[in-house]
Structure 1
């Protein structure tokens, strides 16, 4: 709220500005600010959500006369609105809301007693539809054995897919709650609900319906019988085949397949996937189940389709280029750089900076397997001269360092100060296949440590690094390995551990991703 004076609310407000420029004009003046907003597809209304935490309501403004119109409150529910979305026909709004509001909990926090209660009991949530013509809100789900946590609407408005979560206290409101959720399909014309999945400790994505309305699909592990770290595949069937079996596709691809966006004809699913030290756009053929890599950029690439406009948007970053947005006319043009249209140049000053060169590097670990990562050379690097080293260890561990701008905990800052930076994609990392990611299961630290240290030794042998001037740092899983390095070698002069665990028993007991940590140490309890 740029217009707020001293003592006034600083919460965000809605402003109106012409796309060709001019002064922004304020549309709202709410004490609690505006949480989010969306236009109806018929272009007649703007709806926004506002209110105190846990009591947010929906309001609308007419597009015609938006600068002078007064907001109209659409909902008045005690527990407030969570996720919401316009129906494609602009006649209704779908939303999720809790069944009740815990007044005692609200009073406790308002009174300053803000201690968090682990796995506190909270009300269940359901899916509703607000008919704008009659202002009538109709409850669409009412199963006491699930709580609705998210939904998607098909482009034709005929179907809603939603996720139903567990009602068990210790399987809700946690980071890993998706392990205890299932997918459902609702037909809007008659309200019939079909349960699509029923499993335990298996995480699926929300189901997605193709633009032509033919297919329904979700992404889930290759092995859906129990908790595993198998790569995700796509499970697909025709939407109208009620009770029919899902077909698994993409099995030959050695990596996970999320559902990014569909082609308009529903024959192809596009997704972003890591390839060693890069990320690329891939396609999955719905008929054959075959995966093809579409791009081959030495960069971090993320391609998406804007739901409202259908525009294909490319997020791009490489070691010399800060995150930059591009667009193309269709997904088939993404592979052709000459067809990219840059949307903005928000960091032109970077072209004047001296940056260290970055490149992919590979070496052989103690067990003979090849390991890779990213090497950042210091600004003004001279071949034959040895430099101090910082090992920047990424978190996850199921993540990866790629050729993007200033990764590795701001590695270019160190390069500017004369350091070599090694960003190792040690065992446990993504982008190198499932075996590389899961080799550490049952022996979490040993292989990762060996991979990191053999990478260090490789740089020393190449004459790039001075072995007497070395440091290491990492965050989360990178902090775990920083701690392991600290207690298993004295070769480093300094080590920084960010969010690194020292006591795995106490960490496991307090963690809300216990199943994941349990699997890493051999699928058994830590104590």
Structure 2
């Protein structure tokens, strides 16, 4: 009987609309299947006049295991919502002309071997017209003045015809070998061809020849990836600002901001004195100022980003946010050039701020999270808004009151049929008595008079955070729909809580986050509605690291799920990014750090059942880490399971693989913590 009841409980999340005793339809839960029915809205572009917004919308066909992205058109007054580009052909990167009459975007159509620039008139119906024919493809579009600027990964010593021949030869070659003579050799999920360089080009919006902009300057954009945020063009098209690695050794890059006249043969390094990263150059609308983001600590990607302003007449610079303990991100210039709108991580929520050029920040929004900001010349501000209960939707934001008006109805009908449970933010006392913010997601129909199992999630990074956002790959409400109270805690090292908090765990990745995790479990154990005998935990990337640490230290969890774990800090050298090397030394230079924090040194004490998951194409945390951990567990006769995806990377992104991932995690935990209230 108990097995039968458990089987029925496991089937519940996969059911569609059930019926109550009266035969009436009940609402669905937010199952993994429902996640893949939802359309996904991307970053919007707004016309200069503020009348129109264009955003990419992706929908998935689970049966075909494919997704398609089309551009959708929205009116700023909410009166229009419809597809703009044709079905069956992906489109992305929308960019309006300065007068708003035309739209450029990237698509791969017909005989295109790579993405090209297409143009469409906004004034009426008509087919999009192809503008570019760049064999290496285009990306990172910006329409400035009479030209459309883009980034392409080119062979620097070849003309376009020779590049096309080279690409054809490579496509037809039977040799699969890659060769490198220097770093970098990979980035996240793809190999880097050291023969190619990322550069900015432009071509007239009315058609004409492609002109190289950064290539004559002797500097290339980041080899690991470059896009629209890697460069900006002066409104008068006189200058370009871009980000390039000053050191060029590929081992410890130092990204600086360079400024050059368009057509010149050299560029000035504006940030040569700063050894940490500088990024995201942005010319002000009035053309008088260049802004960029600056970090202070070399080798620390989670360091606070400050806004620095450069007077373009005198080249004098001033840091306007050095006294603000938040990291600037997601910035767009206000049309009056008197400040920025930004989507800023702030204690577990991504809020819209206005930061004036005097450095004074003002929070515009409060609850739920906002991002992907775009602003028109008339001040119309749009972006996306999301929470744990709903995915990103397009909104217009009142920059004074913070009120948001929804412009898209995409997903509304589906979500109206879903009971997504509830959630709240709580604070508990963690390592050394510090306040730790945590999100708690409750199952649909939560009844605090009963006892529920706990699934404690451990986020990656570690210098990221779990904000009030809708996560498609690790959806807390989907986990809760299985019958678990599900929690994400923002342990020491999480971003959005100030510089001291984010840097607290360096180089000791272990002590404070582990203590924060145990304290979170103890917080729940004290609740009458949690069954302390039914607790499980898990995470991915750094969350996989900390879950691996739990394997060898005291904890209350019956089982763990460990995805893409940093398990062996030595063999992590095979990754595209050496974690502590730049700042604290390599393992042969400072071995004690690695011995103290590497999970594999705690293998003697491993005794917890664990589900290990990894993808072959993960180059940030190489797949060997999972195989090392699985062999260790099996050698110690600890119940364990390894799930291997040959076609996934650091994330499981394909629809059917994702459904399988969710189902396997659900079944694994059900073996050790029976779901549902008791």
Structure 2 match to 1:302: 371
Q: Structure with the greater relative contact order (CA < 8 A, sep ≥ 6): 1 or 2?
A: 2
- Are the structure 2 counterparts of residues 15 and 304 from structure 1 closer, same or farther at C-alpha, using a change threshold of 3 Å? closer
- Are the structure 2 counterparts of residues 17 and 293 from structure 1 closer, same or farther at C-alpha, using a change threshold of 3 Å? closer
After TM superposition, the structure 1 stretch with the greater mean CA deviation from structure 2, 398-407 or 105-114, is 105-114
- Are the structure 2 counterparts of residues 408 and 59 from structure 1 closer, same or farther at C-alpha, using a change threshold of 3 Å? closer
Structure 2 match to 1:210: 284
Structure 2 match to 1:511: 575
User: Once superposed, what is the RMSD of the aligned Cα atoms?
Assistant: 3.9
- Are the structure 2 counterparts of residues 214 and 365 from structure 1 closer, same or farther at C-alpha, using a change threshold of 3 Å? same
The structural deviation recorded for 1:183 is 1.4
- Are the structure 2 counterparts of residues 421 and 28 from structure 1 closer, same or farther at C-alpha, using a change threshold of 3 Å? closer
Distance (Å, rounded) in 2 between the aligned partners of 1:294 and 1:414? 32
Distance (Å, rounded) in 2 between the aligned partners of 1:320 and 1:131? 45
Distance (Å, rounded) in 2 between the aligned partners of 1:58 and 1:302? 26
Structure 2 match to 1:197: 271
1:472 to 528, 537, 550: 537
- Contact kept, 8 Å, 1:276 with 1:372, in 2: the verdict is yes
Structure 2 match to 1:122: 195
Structure 1 match to 2:519: 454
The structural deviation recorded for 1:73 is 5.8
Counterpart mapping for 1:114-153 below 5 A? 114=176, 117=179, 119=185, 120-131=193-204, 135-142=208-215, 145-148=218-221, 149=226, 150-153=230-233
Return 5+ residue gaps in structure 1 as ranges.
1-9, 172-176
The structural deviation recorded for 1:216 is 0.9
- Contact kept, 8 Å, 1:199 with 1:225, in 2: the verdict is no
Return the TM-score normalized by structure 2.
0.63
2:590 is the alignment partner of 1:523: no
- CA displacement, residues 394-434 of structure 1 (integer Å, 9 cap, x when unaligned): 11111222333467922223322321112111111112222
Distance (Å, rounded) in 1 between the aligned partners of 2:338 and 2:323? 18
The structural deviation recorded for 1:47 is 7.1
2:420 to 355, 367, 391: 355
2:549 is the alignment partner of 1:484: yes
The structural deviation recorded for 1:107 is 3.4
- Are the structure 2 counterparts of residues 116 and 310 from structure 1 closer, same or farther at C-alpha, using a change threshold of 3 Å? farther
Counterpart mapping for 1:79-228 below 5 A? 79-88=136-145, 90=146, 92-97=147-152, 98=154, 99=156, 100=158, 101=163, 107-111=169-173, 113-114=175-176, 117=179, 119=185, 120-131=193-204, 135-142=208-215, 145-148=218-221, 149=226, 150-165=230-245, 168=248, 170=250, 179-188=253-262, 193-198=267-272, 202-221=276-295, 223=296
Distance (Å, rounded) in 2 between the aligned partners of 1:13 and 1:455? 40
The structural deviation recorded for 1:448 is 0.5
Structure 2 match to 1:332: 400
The secondary structure found in structure 2 opposite 1:255 is: coil
Distance (Å, rounded) in 2 between the aligned partners of 1:190 and 1:501? 45
Counterpart mapping for 1:287-326 below 5 A? 287=358, 289-297=359-367, 299-302=368-371, 304-306=373-375, 311-326=380-395
Distance (Å, rounded) in 2 between the aligned partners of 1:62 and 1:323? 27
The structural deviation recorded for 1:385 is 3.1
The secondary structure found in structure 2 opposite 1:469 is: strand
- CA displacement, residues 129-160 of structure 1 (integer Å, 9 cap, x when unaligned): 43467934444344575213542223443432
Distance (Å, rounded) in 2 between the aligned partners of 1:201 and 1:46? 37
- Contact kept, 8 Å, 1:184 with 1:195, in 2: the verdict is yes
- Contact kept, 8 Å, 2:106 with 2:139, in 1: the verdict is no
- Are the structure 2 counterparts of residues 235 and 163 from structure 1 closer, same or farther at C-alpha, using a change threshold of 3 Å? same
Structure 2 match to 1:282: 353
Distance (Å, rounded) in 2 between the aligned partners of 1:257 and 1:22? 34
Structure 2 match to 1:272: 343
- Are the structure 2 counterparts of residues 254 and 491 from structure 1 closer, same or farther at C-alpha, using a change threshold of 3 Å? same
Return the TM-score normalized by structure 1.
0.79
1:236 to 289, 309, 317: 309
How many residues in Structure 1 have an aligned counterpart in Structure 2?
Answer: 492
- CA displacement, residues 72-125 of structure 1 (integer Å, 9 cap, x when unaligned): 6655x665545443332x3x3334442234966763453354455562422334
